[in-house]
Structure formats: structure tokens, C-alpha cells
């Protein structure tokens, strides 16, 4: 696809990875040495990459990973969009729009994943390409002296094993726990092939003065049932130690493991502060402590979701209650989605087909993307003026059917 005499959009080969990698590092202002090159290359899929080349120089990039994400109803293939960047010398020329359109059109024409998802570095960008904010994450921080667990687990009863993330002895345990948790935790990605190595990548220049990653595993009656990946950032004041525990990932299968792991974290010697940078928006931790008001919880973006094909995407997920609704969908960026679609389904199955029937709700594909994982309510979008109810009662019924009991949450940036 030729854009001008010198700009060409095409996939990048494996041999061209080292041309793309500096572009992405420059676009995101990475300051450290490129220690993580091999980890990034290990998950790079050249056939799913897009790159703008100006003669021989890479000046634009947009790629995708082949992964499953847990949807309402279970895991399913989702195009995990990544490495979206444009060189500072080539911005404001429409390169990003051309890459986004090419990528989505290719997914549609090749009948690949009907859903795409990404993390947005700037949340004002992707709505114009049909991505909706489908989940949020919280950032939690607290002084450990200000909070106490309501039901702490005594040290002798915690059953915690500790190791370094660079070691292999605990890797199988945490992978097994994650695999059981992620299939039913909406927003979690699978970690096939090299993804565990990538997740535990820990270059020193990214630690911000903290230790290397550590792993604590909780053993329940039937074996490992929870873990936390964390690091400690050292600190001292005139009054004594002021170290910080930084939680990178915490996964548990039951409340007992949850209580034991937090009991462990809050009792580490010399630690006076904690921080969890990508936590669930509806974190149970706020309900486990005696003074939740002492927790500082800031909400931020998590996954942005785009329905590549409205019919296939809506039929792919399941619904909390029976649903029979006709949507009038607007989608200027992917015009094949424009028109009326009748969705029927429930907890066990769903279908979505074109129809000439009168519409019940009028909305955009962006709104459907925002509501897709069950975290953003259709009713909330309607209250914001983004959805129009055309049949009385349709909004409430659809909003209830799309909703999930827990907020969707992806614990890793891809």
C-alpha cells in the first residue's frame, strides 16, 4: 500500500525488528538501555505487524499479539493491539489513522478476531477509531501503619513460600494459579509460549531503585492457590526505615489466600508504605482493612475495546440475563458495521444478525466496545448522552444483560 513516493505501509519482517524497536522506544521516550530487546522480540509476530517505511527508515508502527482474553462466558481470541507509534518527524500526517484503518479492515476481511483491545497511552486518541473504555484499573497506595486487616492471618498459619522471580522453582506454581484464575476473570489474557518470560521481564533500568522482582506463593490445603509478585524500594528517614512494597501482580483463588498474602505484605520488616500500580477497580482490599479511607485509590484507564465485526463480537460473548434487542449502530470508521443488528441470547448462547426491524437502542460501535466486557454500563453511557433509547424498557434490559458482577481487569500492559 503506497501512501506517497517514499512512504510505504507493509508488514515488517523478523529481520526488520531492529528497525522498529528504536522507533517504539523513541516514541515512548524510553530512557534506559535497550536491555529488554530480546524479551520484546520473543513475542513479536512479524506477520501481524504493520510499519510505515520512509525509504528504509521505520517511521510508524502498529502490531497485534495473538492472545485469548477472558470475556463474559469464557476466554476467546482477541487481537491485542500494541506497538502503536509514529516517529516525531512524521506526526500529523495521518499515518496513525491509516494504520488503524488498515489493521481493522484486515481483521474484518480475513475473518480473524472479531474484537480488538489495547492500552491507550493517551486516552483521547482511540475513541475516534471506535475503541471504547471497557475497563478501569485502580492505583492503590497507603502507609502501612494507617491500616490493619480486619481478619489477619497469624505468621505461623500463612503457608507462604518466597523466591526470586528470576528463579524457576516457583514459576510452575504461579502459572498454574494464574491459569485457573484467568479463565473466569474478565479482562485477563492467556500467557502461552513466551508470555510468562515476558511478564517477569525485569530490567534494572525500569526498577526505579527497587529490588529485583520477588514472588510469594500461598499454599492452601490442595496446593498453591495464590501469589503476589512484588519488589521493595528502599528508603530511610531521620526517624528510621521508610521502605515501600510495590505490588506488580496479585492473583488468588479464594479469600483465605487473599488474607494470607496481604498479612504477609503488611508485615514485612522495614516496610512502611505500599503501592499497587495496576489493581482491580473494585479491589476487595478496600473491604479487608479497618480504615479504607486511609487508602489512596486513583482510577485510570485499563483496556480499550473495539468491535471489529459487531455481529461476530456480540455473538461471541454471553449475557447475564436473556436479551432480545435491536441496535442501530453508527460506525463511520468501519462502515461494514453500520446499520441494524438484532442480538438475542443469554447465559448459554447468543446470535447477532442484520435486520430491518425497528431499532430499540441507537448507539455507536464505540459505545458497544465500552460496554463489551460488562464493566461500563449501557445505562451509564445513555446518561452521558451517548445512547438513545428508542423503545421504552430496552435500555434497562440490555444494560442488565451486558453487566457482570465484578469489574473487568487486565493486570498487565501489552
Q: How far apart are CA 192 and CA 184, in angstroms?
A: 17
Report the percent of the chain where pLDDT is more than 70: 99
In Å, the largest CA–CA distance within the chain is: 74
Report the percent of the chain where pLDDT is more than 90: 93
Residue 395 falls inside a structural domain: yes
Residue 356: how many other CB atoms lie within 10 Å? 8
- 94 and 197 in a single domain? The answer is no
Domain range for residue 259? 138-300
Q: How far apart are CA 277 and CA 234, in angstroms?
A: 17
Catalytic residue set: 126, 414
Cβ atoms of 102 and 376 closer than 8 Å: no
The pLDDT tens digits for 192-216 are: 999 999 999 999 988 999 999 999 9
Judged against a pLDDT cut of 50, whether residue 2 lies above it is answered with no
Give me the mean pLDDT over the 26-44 stretch.
88
Determine the pLDDT at residue 381.
98
- 296 and 309 in a single domain? The answer is no
User: pLDDT band at 5, cuts 50/70/90?
Assistant: confident
What DSSP string describes 290-350?
S-GGGSEEEEEE--EEEESSHHHHHHHS--SS-EEEEEEEE-SSSGGG-EEEEEEE-SS-E
Instruction: Return the bridge partners of 243, or none.
Output: 271
User: pLDDT band at 96, cuts 50/70/90?
Assistant: very high
pTM: 0.95
The pLDDT tens digits for 105-118 are: 999 999 999 999 99
Sequence-ordered list of residues with C-beta below 8 angstroms from that of 355, at least 6 positions apart, any chain: 326, 340, 341, 342
Sequence-ordered list of residues with C-beta below 8 angstroms from that of 192, at least 6 positions apart, any chain: 67
Q: How far apart are CA 398 and CA 350, in angstroms?
A: 13
178 phi and psi angles, rounded to 5 deg: -60, -40
Three-state DSSP at 151 gives coil
Instruction: Return the bridge partners of 160, or none.
Output: 218
Q: What is the CATH number of the domain that holds 380?
A: 3.30.1050.10
Cβ atoms of 258 and 119 closer than 8 Å: no
- 142 and 281 in a single domain? The answer is yes
Q: How far apart are CA 301 and CA 23, in angstroms?
A: 24
Residue in 372, 376, 322 with CA at minimum distance from that of residue 351:
322
Instruction: Return the bridge partners of 183, or none.
Output: none
The pLDDT tens digits for 240-263 are: 899 999 999 999 999 999 999 999
The pLDDT tens digits for 44-68 are: 999 999 999 999 899 999 999 999 9
Give me the mean pLDDT over the 138-162 stretch.
97
Q: CA of 143: how far to CAs of 213, 249, 270, in Å?
A: 21, 19, 12
Q: Which of 278, 300, 322 is the last residue of a domain?
A: 300
Q: What is the CATH number of the domain that holds 213?
A: 3.40.630.30
Determine the pLDDT at residue 32.
72
The pLDDT tens digits for 286-316 are: 999 999 999 999 999 999 999 999 999 999 9
Determine the pLDDT at residue 398.
98
Residue 127 falls inside a structural domain: no
- 85 and 150 in a single domain? The answer is no
Average predicted confidence (pLDDT) for the chain: 96
- 288 and 162 in a single domain? The answer is yes
Three-state DSSP at 41 gives helix
- 269 and 162 in a single domain? The answer is yes
- 146 and 272 in a single domain? The answer is yes
Give me the mean pLDDT over the 123-141 stretch.
97
- 76 and 107 in a single domain? The answer is yes
- 291 and 156 in a single domain? The answer is yes
Amino acid at each position: 500500500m503506497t501512501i506517497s513516493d517514499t512512504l510505504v505501509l507493509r508488514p515488517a519482517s523478523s529481520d526488520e525488528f531492529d528497525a522498529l524497536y528504536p522507533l517504539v522506544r523513541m516514541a515512548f521516550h524510553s530512557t534506559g538501555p535497550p536491555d529488554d530487546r530480546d524479551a520484546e522480540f520473543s513475542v513479536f509476530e512479524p506477520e501481524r505487524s504493520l510499519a510505515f517505511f520512509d525509504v528504509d527508515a521505520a517511521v510508524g508502527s502498529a502490531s497485534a499479539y495473538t492472545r485469548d482474553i477472558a470475556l463474559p462466558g469464557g476466554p476467546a481470541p482477541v487481537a491485542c493491539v500494541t506497538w502503536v507509534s509514529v516517529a516525531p518527524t512524521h506526526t500529523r500526517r495521518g499515518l496513525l489513522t491509516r494504520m488503524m484503518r488498515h489493521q481493522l479492515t484486515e481483521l474484518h476481511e480475513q475473518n480473524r478476531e472479531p474484537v480488538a483491545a489495547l492500552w491507550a497511552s493517551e486516552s483521547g486518541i482511540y475513541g475516534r477509531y471506535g475503541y471504547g473504555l471497557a475497563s478501569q484499573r485502580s492505583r492503590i497506595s497507603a502507609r502501612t501503619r494507617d491500616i490493619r486487616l480486619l481478619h489477619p492471618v497469624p505468621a505461623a498459619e500463612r503457608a507462604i513460600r518466597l523466591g526470586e522471580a528470576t528463579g524457576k522453582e516457583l514459576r510452575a506454581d504461579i502459572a498454574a494459579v494464574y491459569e485457573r484464575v484467568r479463565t473466569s476473570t474478565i479482562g485477563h489474557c492467556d500467557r502461552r509460549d513466551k508470555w510468562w518470560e515476558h511478564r517477569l521481564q525485569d530490567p534494572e533500568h525500569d526498577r526505579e531503585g527497587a529490588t529485583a522482582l520477588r514472588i510469594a506463593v500461598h499454599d492452601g490445603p490442595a496446593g498453591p492457590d495464590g501469589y503476589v509478585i512484588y519488589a521493595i524500594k528502599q528508603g530511610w528517614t531521620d526517624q528510621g526505615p521508610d521502605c515501600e512494597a510495590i505490588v506488580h501482580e496479585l492473583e488468588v483463588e479464594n479469600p483465605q489466600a487473599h488474607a494470607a498474602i496481604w498479612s504477609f505484605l503488611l508485615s514485612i520488616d522495614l516496610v512502611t508504605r505500599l503501592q499497587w500500580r495496576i489493581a482491580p477497580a473494585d479491589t476487595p482490599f478496600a473491604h479487608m482493612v479497618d480504615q479504607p479511607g486511609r487508602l489512596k485509590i486513583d482510577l485510570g484507564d485499563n483496556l480499550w475495546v473495539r468491535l471489529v465485526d459487531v455481529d461476530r463480537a456480540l455473538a461471541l460473548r454471553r449475557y447475564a440475563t436473556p436479551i432480545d434487542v435491536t441496535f442501530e449502530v453508527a460506525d463511520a470508521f468501519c462502515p461494514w458495521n453500520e446499520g441494524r443488528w438484532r442480538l438475542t441470547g443469554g447465559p448459554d448462547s447468543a446470535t447477532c444478525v442484520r435486520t430491518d426491524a425497528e431499532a430499540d437502542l441507537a448507539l455507536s460501535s464505540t459505545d458497544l466496545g465500552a460496554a463489551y466486557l460488562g464493566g461500563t454500563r449501557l445505562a451509564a453511557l445513555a446518561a452521558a448522552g451517548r445512547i438513545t433509547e428508542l423503545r421504552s424498557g430496552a435500555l434497562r434490559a440490555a444494560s442488565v444483560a451486558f453487566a457482570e458482577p465484578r469489574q473487568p481487569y487486565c493486570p498487565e500492559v501489552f
